[in-house]
A and B are shown apart, each in its own frame.
Chain A
Amino acid sequence: MKLIEARGLQVTLGEHPVLQGVDFHVDPGEIVTIVGPNGSGKSTLLRTLIGAVKPQAGKVTRKPGLRLGYVPQKLQIDATLPLTVARFLSLPHRISRAEGRAALEEAGAGALEGRPMSGLSGGQFQRVLLARAILGKPEVLLLDEPTQGLDQPGSAAFYRQIEQIRARLGCAVVMVSHELHVVMSASDRVVCLNGHVCCQGHPETVAQAAEYRALFGTGTHGALALYRHEHTHTHDHGHDHAHDHGHDHSHHDHAGHGH
Protein backbone atom coordinates (compact mmCIF):
# COMPACT_ATOMS: atom_id res chain seq x y z
CA MET A 1 0.00 0.00 0.00
CA LYS A 2 1.25 3.47 -0.85
CA LEU A 3 1.85 5.78 2.09
CA ILE A 4 0.96 8.94 0.19
CA GLU A 5 -0.59 9.18 -3.21
CA ALA A 6 -1.28 12.40 -5.07
CA ARG A 7 -3.22 12.52 -8.33
CA GLY A 8 -3.59 15.36 -10.77
CA LEU A 9 -2.48 18.05 -8.35
CA GLN A 10 -3.09 21.59 -9.49
CA VAL A 11 -1.92 24.37 -7.21
CA THR A 12 -2.10 28.08 -7.85
CA LEU A 13 -0.52 30.47 -5.36
CA GLY A 14 -1.83 33.98 -5.88
CA GLU A 15 -2.08 34.41 -9.63
CA HIS A 16 0.77 32.09 -10.32
CA PRO A 17 0.18 28.47 -11.33
CA VAL A 18 2.77 26.41 -9.46
CA LEU A 19 1.80 22.79 -10.01
CA GLN A 20 -0.13 21.34 -12.89
CA GLY A 21 -1.31 17.78 -13.25
CA VAL A 22 1.26 16.39 -10.82
CA ASP A 23 1.04 12.72 -9.88
CA PHE A 24 3.22 11.59 -7.03
CA HIS A 25 3.43 8.71 -4.63
CA VAL A 26 5.56 7.43 -1.78
CA ASP A 27 6.08 3.74 -1.13
CA PRO A 28 7.08 2.41 2.30
CA GLY A 29 10.79 2.69 3.02
CA GLU A 30 11.94 4.31 -0.21
CA ILE A 31 14.02 7.46 -0.60
CA VAL A 32 12.50 9.77 -3.18
CA THR A 33 14.26 12.93 -4.21
CA ILE A 34 12.50 15.81 -5.90
CA VAL A 35 14.79 17.90 -8.05
CA GLY A 36 13.98 20.88 -10.21
CA PRO A 37 15.03 24.46 -10.92
CA ASN A 38 14.09 27.40 -8.68
CA GLY A 39 10.37 28.08 -8.70
CA SER A 40 9.56 24.65 -10.07
CA GLY A 41 7.14 23.93 -7.23
CA LYS A 42 9.26 21.52 -5.18
CA SER A 43 8.49 23.09 -1.81
CA THR A 44 4.86 23.61 -2.77
CA LEU A 45 4.56 19.93 -3.62
CA LEU A 46 5.93 18.96 -0.20
CA ARG A 47 3.60 21.40 1.52
CA THR A 48 0.67 20.00 -0.44
CA LEU A 49 1.62 16.47 0.63
CA ILE A 50 1.55 17.45 4.32
CA GLY A 51 -1.79 19.22 3.93
CA ALA A 52 -0.54 22.79 4.36
CA VAL A 53 -1.55 23.76 0.82
CA LYS A 54 -4.97 22.93 -0.58
CA PRO A 55 -4.79 21.95 -4.25
CA GLN A 56 -7.31 23.61 -6.59
CA ALA A 57 -7.74 20.28 -8.31
CA GLY A 58 -6.55 16.77 -7.68
CA LYS A 59 -6.32 14.86 -4.47
CA VAL A 60 -3.77 13.78 -1.88
CA THR A 61 -4.55 10.46 -0.24
CA ARG A 62 -2.62 9.47 2.83
CA LYS A 63 -2.65 6.12 4.55
CA PRO A 64 -5.09 6.58 7.45
CA GLY A 65 -3.21 7.64 10.59
CA LEU A 66 0.01 8.17 8.69
CA ARG A 67 2.75 9.68 10.87
CA LEU A 68 4.65 12.46 9.11
CA GLY A 69 7.96 14.02 10.02
CA TYR A 70 8.48 17.34 8.29
CA VAL A 71 11.66 19.39 8.11
CA PRO A 72 10.80 22.79 6.61
CA GLN A 73 13.17 24.76 4.46
CA LYS A 74 13.09 27.68 6.84
CA LEU A 75 11.68 28.35 10.25
CA GLN A 76 11.47 31.95 11.31
CA ILE A 77 10.98 32.09 15.06
CA ASP A 78 9.68 35.44 16.26
CA ALA A 79 12.23 37.21 18.46
CA THR A 80 9.61 37.64 21.19
CA LEU A 81 9.14 33.86 21.50
CA PRO A 82 11.66 32.34 23.91
CA LEU A 83 12.33 28.73 23.04
CA THR A 84 15.03 26.32 24.12
CA VAL A 85 15.94 23.35 21.97
CA ALA A 86 14.46 20.97 24.56
CA ARG A 87 11.19 22.90 24.59
CA PHE A 88 11.07 22.93 20.80
CA LEU A 89 11.47 19.16 20.67
CA SER A 90 8.46 18.85 22.99
CA LEU A 91 6.10 20.34 20.39
CA PRO A 92 3.44 19.22 19.88
CA HIS A 93 4.00 16.08 21.97
CA ARG A 94 5.68 16.22 25.35
CA ILE A 95 8.79 14.07 25.43
CA SER A 96 11.14 13.03 28.19
CA ARG A 97 14.61 14.47 28.59
CA ALA A 98 16.14 11.14 27.59
CA GLU A 99 14.05 10.89 24.42
CA GLY A 100 15.06 14.40 23.46
CA ARG A 101 18.72 13.69 24.01
CA ALA A 102 18.55 10.47 22.00
CA ALA A 103 16.86 12.23 19.09
CA LEU A 104 19.45 15.01 19.09
CA GLU A 105 22.16 12.38 19.16
CA GLU A 106 20.66 10.51 16.25
CA ALA A 107 20.27 13.70 14.22
CA GLY A 108 23.93 14.47 14.89
CA ALA A 109 23.17 17.61 16.89
CA GLY A 110 24.84 16.70 20.16
CA ALA A 111 23.99 18.18 23.53
CA LEU A 112 22.08 21.31 22.59
CA GLU A 113 19.01 20.84 24.80
CA GLY A 114 19.55 23.88 26.96
CA ARG A 115 20.44 26.27 24.15
CA PRO A 116 17.98 28.87 22.89
CA MET A 117 16.83 28.20 19.33
CA SER A 118 17.83 31.72 18.36
CA GLY A 119 21.47 31.02 19.23
CA LEU A 120 21.97 28.04 16.92
CA SER A 121 24.06 28.03 13.78
CA GLY A 122 22.40 27.12 10.49
CA GLY A 123 23.70 23.56 10.60
CA GLN A 124 22.71 23.04 14.22
CA PHE A 125 19.27 24.43 13.51
CA GLN A 126 18.72 21.97 10.64
CA ARG A 127 19.77 19.06 12.83
CA VAL A 128 17.44 20.14 15.61
CA LEU A 129 14.61 20.31 13.07
CA LEU A 130 15.53 16.79 11.99
CA ALA A 131 15.63 15.59 15.60
CA ARG A 132 12.13 16.94 16.18
CA ALA A 133 10.87 15.30 13.00
CA ILE A 134 12.12 11.83 13.98
CA LEU A 135 10.75 12.06 17.53
CA GLY A 136 7.27 11.31 16.21
CA LYS A 137 8.51 7.97 14.77
CA PRO A 138 7.46 9.02 11.28
CA GLU A 139 6.48 6.61 8.55
CA VAL A 140 7.38 9.29 6.04
CA LEU A 141 10.12 11.84 6.61
CA LEU A 142 9.80 14.91 4.37
CA LEU A 143 12.78 17.24 4.08
CA ASP A 144 12.80 20.53 2.20
CA GLU A 145 16.33 21.49 1.15
CA PRO A 146 17.68 20.12 4.42
CA THR A 147 21.33 20.87 3.75
CA GLN A 148 21.24 24.49 2.72
CA GLY A 149 23.87 26.40 4.59
CA LEU A 150 26.00 23.29 5.06
CA ASP A 151 29.30 22.83 3.30
CA GLN A 152 29.96 19.77 1.16
CA PRO A 153 31.31 17.46 3.87
CA GLY A 154 28.54 18.72 6.15
CA SER A 155 25.80 17.86 3.73
CA ALA A 156 27.36 14.51 2.89
CA ALA A 157 27.33 13.72 6.63
CA PHE A 158 23.75 14.90 6.84
CA TYR A 159 22.64 12.51 4.11
CA ARG A 160 24.47 9.62 5.76
CA GLN A 161 22.50 10.43 8.89
CA ILE A 162 19.26 10.34 6.91
CA GLU A 163 20.14 6.90 5.57
CA GLN A 164 20.88 5.63 9.08
CA ILE A 165 17.60 7.04 10.32
CA ARG A 166 15.76 5.34 7.51
CA ALA A 167 17.48 2.08 8.29
CA ARG A 168 16.46 2.29 11.95
CA LEU A 169 12.92 3.62 11.59
CA GLY A 170 12.16 1.94 8.28
CA CYS A 171 10.54 5.16 7.17
CA ALA A 172 10.19 6.47 3.66
CA VAL A 173 12.09 9.67 2.91
CA VAL A 174 10.99 12.44 0.55
CA MET A 175 13.64 15.09 -0.05
CA VAL A 176 13.77 18.28 -1.99
CA SER A 177 17.27 19.20 -2.94
CA HIS A 178 19.41 21.17 -5.27
CA GLU A 179 22.53 19.17 -4.49
CA LEU A 180 21.98 16.61 -7.18
CA HIS A 181 25.31 14.91 -6.94
CA VAL A 182 25.02 13.92 -3.29
CA VAL A 183 21.32 13.36 -3.27
CA MET A 184 21.06 11.26 -6.39
CA SER A 185 23.50 8.69 -5.18
CA ALA A 186 21.41 8.22 -2.05
CA SER A 187 18.01 8.01 -3.75
CA ASP A 188 15.93 5.06 -4.83
CA ARG A 189 13.89 7.26 -7.10
CA VAL A 190 14.30 10.75 -8.48
CA VAL A 191 11.41 12.92 -9.58
CA CYS A 192 12.31 15.82 -11.80
CA LEU A 193 9.79 18.61 -11.35
CA ASN A 194 9.18 21.78 -13.29
CA GLY A 195 5.57 22.69 -12.58
CA HIS A 196 4.77 19.22 -13.85
CA VAL A 197 6.67 15.96 -13.54
CA CYS A 198 9.23 16.03 -16.35
CA CYS A 199 10.59 12.59 -15.76
CA GLN A 200 11.16 10.18 -12.94
CA GLY A 201 12.70 6.86 -12.13
CA HIS A 202 15.99 5.39 -11.01
CA PRO A 203 18.59 8.15 -10.56
CA GLU A 204 20.71 6.88 -13.44
CA THR A 205 17.71 6.75 -15.75
CA VAL A 206 16.66 10.26 -14.87
CA ALA A 207 20.16 11.59 -15.31
CA GLN A 208 20.10 10.25 -18.87
CA ALA A 209 16.66 11.60 -19.71
CA ALA A 210 16.50 14.34 -22.30
CA GLU A 211 13.98 16.33 -20.21
CA TYR A 212 16.34 16.30 -17.27
CA ARG A 213 19.29 17.37 -19.36
CA ALA A 214 17.26 20.15 -20.93
CA LEU A 215 16.59 21.53 -17.44
CA PHE A 216 19.92 20.97 -15.79
CA GLY A 217 22.25 20.86 -18.77
CA THR A 218 25.52 22.44 -17.78
CA GLY A 219 24.62 23.07 -14.15
CA THR A 220 24.88 19.43 -13.16
CA HIS A 221 27.59 18.49 -15.54
CA GLY A 222 30.19 17.86 -12.88
CA ALA A 223 27.63 16.55 -10.47
CA LEU A 224 26.62 13.79 -12.81
CA ALA A 225 30.19 12.87 -13.40
CA LEU A 226 30.76 12.56 -9.70
CA TYR A 227 27.68 10.46 -9.38
CA ARG A 228 28.81 8.12 -12.11
CA HIS A 229 32.28 8.11 -10.87
CA GLU A 230 31.23 6.91 -7.46
CA HIS A 231 29.00 4.26 -8.81
CA THR A 232 30.79 2.83 -11.77
CA HIS A 233 34.37 3.43 -10.71
CA THR A 234 35.39 4.48 -14.16
CA HIS A 235 37.95 7.18 -14.46
CA ASP A 236 37.09 8.47 -17.87
CA HIS A 237 34.55 10.96 -16.65
CA GLY A 238 36.54 13.79 -18.07
CA HIS A 239 35.85 12.60 -21.58
CA ASP A 240 32.52 11.04 -20.97
CA HIS A 241 30.33 13.88 -22.07
CA ALA A 242 32.81 16.52 -22.94
CA HIS A 243 31.30 16.50 -26.38
CA ASP A 244 27.88 17.76 -25.33
CA HIS A 245 29.09 20.43 -22.89
CA GLY A 246 32.00 22.73 -23.02
CA HIS A 247 32.81 23.09 -19.31
CA ASP A 248 35.51 20.61 -18.73
CA HIS A 249 37.30 22.60 -16.04
CA SER A 250 34.34 22.99 -13.72
CA HIS A 251 33.60 19.40 -14.36
CA HIS A 252 37.00 18.35 -13.19
CA ASP A 253 36.77 20.58 -10.17
CA HIS A 254 33.62 18.92 -9.02
CA ALA A 255 34.76 15.43 -9.82
CA GLY A 256 37.92 16.11 -7.89
CA HIS A 257 35.98 16.02 -4.64
CA GLY A 258 35.25 12.38 -5.17
CA HIS A 259 38.83 11.33 -4.91
Chain B
Amino acid sequence: MLDDFLVRAALAGLGLALAAAPLGCFVSWRRMANFGDATAHAAILGVALSLALSLPVFAGTLFVALVMAVLVGALSERGLGIDTVLGVLAHGALAIGLVAITFVPGARLDLSAYLFGDILAVTKSDLLVIWGGAALVLALLLWRWQALLTATLSPDLAHASGIDPRLESRVLTVALALTVAVAIKVVGVLLIGAMLLIPAAAARPFARTPEAMALTAAGIGGVSALAGLEGALLFDTPAGPSMVCAATLIFAVTASLGALRARR
Protein backbone atom coordinates (compact mmCIF):
# COMPACT_ATOMS: atom_id res chain seq x y z
CA MET B 1 0.00 0.00 0.00
CA LEU B 2 2.82 2.38 0.90
CA ASP B 3 4.31 1.68 -2.51
CA ASP B 4 1.75 4.01 -4.03
CA PHE B 5 3.12 7.57 -3.99
CA LEU B 6 -0.39 8.95 -3.58
CA VAL B 7 -0.99 6.93 -0.43
CA ARG B 8 2.31 8.11 0.94
CA ALA B 9 1.42 11.71 0.08
CA ALA B 10 -1.97 11.42 1.75
CA LEU B 11 -0.45 9.93 4.89
CA ALA B 12 2.21 12.64 5.01
CA GLY B 13 -0.40 15.38 4.70
CA LEU B 14 -2.58 13.80 7.38
CA GLY B 15 0.34 13.33 9.76
CA LEU B 16 1.36 16.96 9.47
CA ALA B 17 -2.19 18.28 9.77
CA LEU B 18 -2.96 16.26 12.90
CA ALA B 19 0.02 17.73 14.75
CA ALA B 20 0.07 21.22 13.24
CA ALA B 21 -3.59 22.07 13.83
CA PRO B 22 -3.70 21.61 17.64
CA LEU B 23 -0.33 23.34 17.97
CA GLY B 24 -1.70 26.05 15.72
CA CYS B 25 -4.47 26.63 18.25
CA PHE B 26 -1.85 27.64 20.80
CA VAL B 27 -0.10 29.76 18.19
CA SER B 28 -3.41 31.55 17.67
CA TRP B 29 -4.36 31.87 21.36
CA ARG B 30 -0.94 33.19 22.27
CA ARG B 31 -0.67 35.45 19.23
CA MET B 32 2.48 33.72 18.10
CA ALA B 33 1.81 33.82 14.35
CA ASN B 34 4.94 35.83 13.69
CA PHE B 35 6.88 33.58 16.00
CA GLY B 36 5.79 30.61 13.90
CA ASP B 37 6.71 32.34 10.66
CA ALA B 38 10.14 33.35 11.93
CA THR B 39 10.85 29.77 13.00
CA ALA B 40 9.53 28.30 9.76
CA HIS B 41 11.37 30.71 7.49
CA ALA B 42 14.63 30.11 9.32
CA ALA B 43 14.30 26.46 8.33
CA ILE B 44 15.45 27.30 4.80
CA LEU B 45 18.79 28.14 6.42
CA GLY B 46 18.66 24.66 7.91
CA VAL B 47 18.14 23.22 4.43
CA ALA B 48 21.24 25.05 3.19
CA LEU B 49 23.17 23.75 6.19
CA SER B 50 22.01 20.17 5.65
CA LEU B 51 22.89 20.19 1.98
CA ALA B 52 26.31 21.75 2.60
CA LEU B 53 27.16 19.23 5.30
CA SER B 54 25.36 16.30 3.60
CA LEU B 55 23.11 15.85 6.63
CA PRO B 56 19.50 14.67 6.46
CA VAL B 57 17.33 17.74 5.77
CA PHE B 58 15.18 16.90 8.81
CA ALA B 59 18.18 17.13 11.15
CA GLY B 60 19.43 20.43 9.74
CA THR B 61 16.04 22.12 9.76
CA LEU B 62 15.22 20.84 13.23
CA PHE B 63 18.48 22.24 14.53
CA VAL B 64 18.10 25.67 12.94
CA ALA B 65 14.39 25.90 13.80
CA LEU B 66 15.17 25.05 17.40
CA VAL B 67 17.90 27.68 17.61
CA MET B 68 15.63 30.27 16.02
CA ALA B 69 12.68 29.36 18.23
CA VAL B 70 14.77 29.61 21.40
CA LEU B 71 16.23 32.92 20.27
CA VAL B 72 12.84 34.35 19.40
CA GLY B 73 11.33 32.95 22.60
CA ALA B 74 14.00 34.71 24.67
CA LEU B 75 13.31 37.95 22.80
CA SER B 76 9.57 37.62 23.37
CA GLU B 77 10.08 37.41 27.12
CA ARG B 78 11.69 40.82 26.99
CA GLY B 79 8.32 42.12 25.88
CA LEU B 80 7.62 45.35 24.05
CA GLY B 81 7.92 45.95 20.32
CA ILE B 82 8.38 42.27 19.76
CA ASP B 83 6.04 42.15 16.79
CA THR B 84 8.37 44.21 14.64
CA VAL B 85 11.45 42.31 15.75
CA LEU B 86 9.74 39.03 14.90
CA GLY B 87 8.76 40.36 11.49
CA VAL B 88 12.36 41.37 10.83
CA LEU B 89 13.59 37.95 11.93
CA ALA B 90 11.00 36.09 9.86
CA HIS B 91 11.81 37.87 6.62
CA GLY B 92 15.51 38.21 7.36
CA ALA B 93 15.88 34.49 8.03
CA LEU B 94 14.09 33.65 4.80
CA ALA B 95 16.25 35.99 2.72
CA ILE B 96 19.49 34.85 4.32
CA GLY B 97 18.47 31.23 3.83
CA LEU B 98 17.65 31.82 0.16
CA VAL B 99 21.00 33.50 -0.41
CA ALA B 100 22.88 30.85 1.54
CA ILE B 101 21.31 28.02 -0.41
CA THR B 102 22.65 29.38 -3.72
CA PHE B 103 26.17 28.62 -2.47
CA VAL B 104 25.30 24.92 -2.23
CA PRO B 105 25.99 23.28 -5.61
CA GLY B 106 22.86 21.84 -7.21
CA ALA B 107 20.45 23.01 -4.50
CA ARG B 108 19.20 25.91 -6.58
CA LEU B 109 17.54 23.41 -8.91
CA ASP B 110 14.93 22.22 -6.44
CA LEU B 111 14.59 25.32 -4.33
CA SER B 112 10.84 25.40 -4.85
CA ALA B 113 10.58 21.93 -3.29
CA TYR B 114 11.80 23.46 -0.02
CA LEU B 115 9.74 26.60 -0.34
CA PHE B 116 6.44 24.94 -1.24
CA GLY B 117 7.01 21.31 -0.33
CA ASP B 118 7.21 18.22 -2.47
CA ILE B 119 4.62 15.95 -0.98
CA LEU B 120 4.38 13.67 -4.02
CA ALA B 121 8.05 12.74 -3.55
CA VAL B 122 7.63 11.62 0.07
CA THR B 123 9.49 8.35 0.72
CA LYS B 124 8.78 5.68 3.28
CA SER B 125 11.54 6.98 5.53
CA ASP B 126 10.12 10.51 5.18
CA LEU B 127 6.81 9.12 6.37
CA LEU B 128 8.50 7.62 9.38
CA VAL B 129 10.03 10.99 10.25
CA ILE B 130 6.75 12.86 9.67
CA TRP B 131 4.62 10.52 11.76
CA GLY B 132 7.32 10.17 14.42
CA GLY B 133 7.63 13.95 14.69
CA ALA B 134 3.88 14.47 14.66
CA ALA B 135 3.39 11.86 17.38
CA LEU B 136 6.04 13.57 19.49
CA VAL B 137 4.36 16.96 19.08
CA LEU B 138 0.96 15.54 20.05
CA ALA B 139 2.46 13.70 23.01
CA LEU B 140 4.09 16.91 24.24
CA LEU B 141 0.82 18.83 23.91
CA LEU B 142 -1.22 16.14 25.65
CA TRP B 143 1.29 15.78 28.45
CA ARG B 144 1.40 19.51 29.22
CA TRP B 145 -2.15 20.35 28.13
CA GLN B 146 -3.58 21.70 31.40
CA ALA B 147 -0.44 23.64 32.31
CA LEU B 148 -0.09 25.00 28.78
CA LEU B 149 -3.67 26.23 28.80
CA THR B 150 -3.29 27.86 32.21
CA ALA B 151 -0.07 29.59 31.18
CA THR B 152 -1.69 30.70 27.93
CA LEU B 153 -4.65 32.16 29.79
CA SER B 154 -2.51 34.13 32.22
CA PRO B 155 1.12 33.76 33.31
CA ASP B 156 0.13 35.17 36.71
CA LEU B 157 -2.57 32.55 37.28
CA ALA B 158 -0.02 29.93 36.27
CA HIS B 159 2.53 31.21 38.79
CA ALA B 160 -0.07 31.22 41.55
CA SER B 161 -0.83 27.56 40.76
CA GLY B 162 2.82 26.60 40.90
CA ILE B 163 3.20 26.38 37.10
CA ASP B 164 6.22 28.05 35.52
CA PRO B 165 4.91 29.72 32.35
CA ARG B 166 8.42 29.99 30.90
CA LEU B 167 8.78 26.22 31.04
CA GLU B 168 5.49 25.86 29.17
CA SER B 169 6.72 28.32 26.55
CA ARG B 170 9.76 26.11 26.03
CA VAL B 171 7.49 23.12 25.48
CA LEU B 172 5.70 25.03 22.73
CA THR B 173 9.01 26.17 21.30
CA VAL B 174 10.22 22.58 20.95
CA ALA B 175 6.89 21.47 19.51
CA LEU B 176 7.02 24.29 16.99
CA ALA B 177 10.55 23.45 15.87
CA LEU B 178 9.59 19.79 15.47
CA THR B 179 6.54 20.70 13.42
CA VAL B 180 8.59 22.94 11.15
CA ALA B 181 11.14 20.18 10.55
CA VAL B 182 8.35 17.71 9.78
CA ALA B 183 6.38 20.09 7.58
CA ILE B 184 9.13 21.19 5.24
CA LYS B 185 8.74 18.18 2.97
CA VAL B 186 4.95 18.48 2.94
CA VAL B 187 4.15 22.17 2.46
CA GLY B 188 7.59 23.85 2.49
CA VAL B 189 8.80 26.72 4.67
CA LEU B 190 6.53 29.36 3.20
CA LEU B 191 3.27 27.60 4.01
CA ILE B 192 4.00 26.02 7.39
CA GLY B 193 2.49 29.03 9.09
CA ALA B 194 -0.68 28.49 7.07
CA MET B 195 -1.02 24.87 8.18
CA LEU B 196 -0.66 26.03 11.78
CA LEU B 197 -3.06 28.93 11.73
CA ILE B 198 -5.76 28.38 9.14
CA PRO B 199 -7.30 25.15 10.50
CA ALA B 200 -7.30 26.69 13.99
CA ALA B 201 -8.96 29.86 12.74
CA ALA B 202 -11.51 27.83 10.78
CA ALA B 203 -12.37 25.79 13.88
CA ARG B 204 -12.89 28.80 16.15
CA PRO B 205 -16.49 29.82 15.28
CA PHE B 206 -17.96 26.47 16.27
CA ALA B 207 -15.87 25.59 19.30
CA ARG B 208 -16.94 26.25 22.89
CA THR B 209 -13.91 24.76 24.61
CA PRO B 210 -10.19 24.67 23.79
CA GLU B 211 -10.35 20.89 23.35
CA ALA B 212 -13.22 21.10 20.90
CA MET B 213 -11.31 23.72 18.94
CA ALA B 214 -8.13 21.61 18.81
CA LEU B 215 -10.02 18.50 17.68
CA THR B 216 -12.04 20.40 15.09
CA ALA B 217 -8.88 22.07 13.83
CA ALA B 218 -7.19 18.69 13.46
CA GLY B 219 -10.19 17.42 11.51
CA ILE B 220 -10.24 20.49 9.26
CA GLY B 221 -6.48 20.18 8.74
CA GLY B 222 -6.85 16.52 7.76
CA VAL B 223 -9.70 17.21 5.36
CA SER B 224 -7.76 20.12 3.84
CA ALA B 225 -4.72 17.91 3.30
CA LEU B 226 -6.74 15.23 1.51
CA ALA B 227 -8.91 17.65 -0.44
CA GLY B 228 -5.86 19.67 -1.47
CA LEU B 229 -4.12 16.55 -2.71
CA GLU B 230 -7.21 15.53 -4.64
CA GLY B 231 -7.47 19.01 -6.16
CA ALA B 232 -3.80 18.99 -7.07
CA LEU B 233 -4.29 15.79 -9.06
CA LEU B 234 -7.49 16.98 -10.65
CA PHE B 235 -6.28 20.40 -11.74
CA ASP B 236 -2.59 19.59 -11.96
CA THR B 237 -1.67 22.22 -9.37
CA PRO B 238 1.14 22.16 -6.77
CA ALA B 239 0.06 19.98 -3.83
CA GLY B 240 1.25 22.09 -0.86
CA PRO B 241 -0.44 25.33 -1.94
CA SER B 242 -3.56 23.36 -2.94
CA MET B 243 -3.85 22.02 0.60
CA VAL B 244 -3.60 25.54 1.99
CA CYS B 245 -6.22 26.68 -0.55
CA ALA B 246 -8.58 23.97 0.69
CA ALA B 247 -8.03 25.06 4.29
CA THR B 248 -8.64 28.69 3.37
CA LEU B 249 -11.85 27.75 1.62
CA ILE B 250 -13.07 25.93 4.73
CA PHE B 251 -12.11 28.95 6.81
CA ALA B 252 -14.14 31.23 4.53
CA VAL B 253 -17.17 28.98 4.97
CA THR B 254 -16.98 28.59 8.77
CA ALA B 255 -16.16 32.27 9.31
CA SER B 256 -19.19 33.30 7.23
CA LEU B 257 -21.46 30.85 9.03
CA GLY B 258 -20.12 32.08 12.35
CA ALA B 259 -20.78 35.69 11.41
CA LEU B 260 -24.30 34.83 10.24
CA ARG B 261 -25.05 33.01 13.45
CA ALA B 262 -23.72 35.88 15.54
CA ARG B 263 -26.01 38.32 13.76
CA ARG B 264 -29.14 36.30 14.52
Contact = CB atoms under 8 A, between A and B. Distances in A.
A82 B217 CA distance: 13
Nearest to A70: B160
B154 interface: yes
B254 to A, nearest CB: 13
Contacts of B158: 92
Given A84-B208, A94-B146, A116-B208, A52 B156 contact: yes
A50 interface: yes
Interface string A82-97: 1110011001111000
A112 interface: no
Contact of B212 (A77, A82, A136): A82
Contacts of B103: none
Chain A interface size, as a band, is 20 to 34
B209 interface: yes
Interface string A56-96: 00000000000011101001011011111001100111100
B156 A82 contact: no
B83 to A, nearest CB: 15
Interface residues of B, number: 29
Is chain A's interface secondary structure helix, strand, loop, or mixed overall? loop
B152 A81 contact: yes
Given A78-B31, A82-B209, A91 B159 contact: no
Nearest to B31: A78
Contacts of A82: 204, 207-210, 212-213
B123 interface: no
B201 interface: yes
Contacts, number: 73
B160 A68 contact: yes
Interface string A136-164: 10000010000000000000000000000
A92 B160 CA distance: 11
A111 to B, nearest CB: 16
Interface string A157-176: 00000000000000000000
Given A92-B147, A136-B161, 5 more contacts: A68-B160, A81-B29, A81-B153, A82-B210, A88-B153
22 contacts: A51-B159, A52-B155, A68-B160, A69-B160, A70-B157, A72-B154, A78-B30, A81-B28, A81-B153, A81-B210, A82-B204, A82-B212, A82-B213, A83-B153, A83-B210, A84-B208, A87-B209, A88-B153, A91-B153, A91-B157, A92-B150, A93-B161
